[in-house]
A and B are shown apart, each in its own frame.
Chain A
Amino acid sequence: MPETDTQPGALRELQADAGTRKRFLKMIGGAGAAGALALLAAACGGDDSTGRRAAEGAAKTPMGGVGNDLAILNYALTLEYVEADFYDQAVRSGQITDRAVADLAKRIGEAEHAHVDAITATVKKLGGTPARRPATRFDDVIAGGPARILRTAAIVENVGAAAYLAQAPRITSAEILAAALSIHSVEARHAAALNQLTGRGFSGDGPLDGSVPTGAFASPLPMSRVLDEVKPFLAS
């Protein structure tokens, strides 16, 4: 993966140099709506393999570990903002007329807001600056009616679960890992329910390639792929 070529170097630089660290944290925290894509791309590069070991090395330099975890948290926060926004707009549109489905969408939306709040609080507790809420664009999806809304919700949840799964092994702090896992499995629950609602069944046959478990094991989704999935919903 091209990302892994740059990321370890960036992480090393981050650990070694206080000035770079400061700039990096500023960038993570200061990324506004327009910077959301850059944030997603920059926050954490190497999604696979040696992440936790690298993070363990980083943990020896305390700030390195915290910086690493902050970057992952702000990445997660951006994704949660996108999800929360989506459900807000979908519920508000009144397009979902089935009462049970509308209730579910509302409940899931509330959970996503709770995730936003929890991650924001955690970032602050670690001394970081929470990523700003990105501007989103779901007009086309919502105009497409309830079936399109639910299909998009299923994609967003499966991508979200896969994104958390990819990042979990890279998290340095056991407490933050525990928090991320407690969100990861909830995203998975949402994904399963929405797969079911959209007629995909458990294994999610359909155009959700690579983001749904095809059997007994779920696949992680690296950041570049998450980016591709989320990009259409971010307003520039």
Chain B
Amino acid sequence: MSRTPTPAPQLEAVAVEGLSRGAFLLRGALATGAVLGGSAVGPFVRRALAQEGGDVDVLNFALTLEYLEATFYSRAIREGRGLGADTRRLVREIHDNEVAHVDALRGTIKQLGGRPVDAPKVGFGDVFTNRRRFVGLAQTLEDTGVSAYNGAAPQIRSSEVLAAAGSIVQVEARHAALIRLLNGETPAPSAFDAALAEKNVLDAVTPFLKS
């Protein structure tokens, strides 16, 4: 089930600033993706979340990721150049979904008696000035997001929370497929998402686990 990882260097353009554990984890996940490829992010996240924390910790990580995506698309809507009508329509729809995910995750965290983390400060370099680069990064972020959710979900204890995470990741996967089609790529690059074996990832990401 494992496959050769392909690095995603465009993830280096993504900056995440914040002091929450979710922000630290997300930085580690993106760095892992930049070095080893999106399929390495799932095992990284799974390992990192296994070290401590409960469902609130997992949800706050997911929330941080959704903040990043929501901001990414909101900036694309405002600043994107030459997107074209079809892309713009899809970007708006995806943006609305990410905002709904943020709201749902915040609500769930509060329901569990936890405190939702604040949105991190994020930067994306100058990708919005160029359609090709924007859609390229969107694809990498969506694929990485799917992998991150798939990695985080097995740590979830509550069946209700797991069901909620599942209903979100399925929509993230649909985003990923549609963005890939925009790029003229196959919607599913592999028969298994984030199937890279955990042991292949561990050595390379151990430094990030300490943060």
Contacts and interface: CB of A to CB of B under 8 A. Distances in A.
Nearest to A202: B93
A178 B192 CA distance: 10
B173 A219 contact: no
Contact of B166 (A110, A111, A169): A169
B163 interface: yes
B195 interface: yes
Interface in B108-158: 146, 149-151, 153-155, 157-158
Contacts of A111: 188, 190-191
A213 B159 CA distance: 20
A215 interface: yes
A193 B93 contact: no
Given A188-B177, A215-B100, A217-B171, A53 B166 contact: no
Interface in A41-67: 49-53, 55-56
Interface in A90-111: 104, 107-108, 110-111
Contact of A178 (B150, B171, B176, B188): B150
A177 interface: yes
B159 A52 contact: yes
B97 A216 contact: yes
Interface residues of A, number: 48
Interface string A168-184: 11100011011101111
B170 interface: yes
A193 B177 contact: yes
Contacts, number: 157
B40 interface: no
Interface string B85-97: 0000010010011
Interface residues of B, number: 49
B187 A192 contact: yes
B181 A182 contact: no
A168 B171 contact: no
A165 B173 contact: no
A218 B162 contact: no
A236 interface: no
Nearest to A182: B192
A134 to B, nearest CB: 21
Contacts of B153: 168, 177-178, 181
Given A50-B159, A215-B100, A181 B150 contact: yes
A115 B191 contact: yes
A32 B111 CA distance: 46
B188 A217 contact: no
A219 B167 contact: yes
B195 A189 contact: no
Interface in A105-124: 107-108, 110-112, 114-115, 118
A115 to B, nearest CB: 6
A20 interface: no
A189 B187 contact: yes
A192 B97 CA distance: 15
The 7 closest A-B pairs by CB, nearest first: A52-B159, A216-B100, A114-B191, A218-B170, A192-B174, A188-B173, A185-B173
Interface of B: 1, 42, 46, 90, 93, 96-98, 100-101, 104, 146, 149-151, 153-155, 157-160, 162-164, 166-178, 180-181, 186-188, 190-195
11 contacts: A52-B158, A165-B163, A165-B170, A174-B154, A183-B192, A185-B149, A185-B169, A186-B188, A186-B190, A188-B170, A218-B174
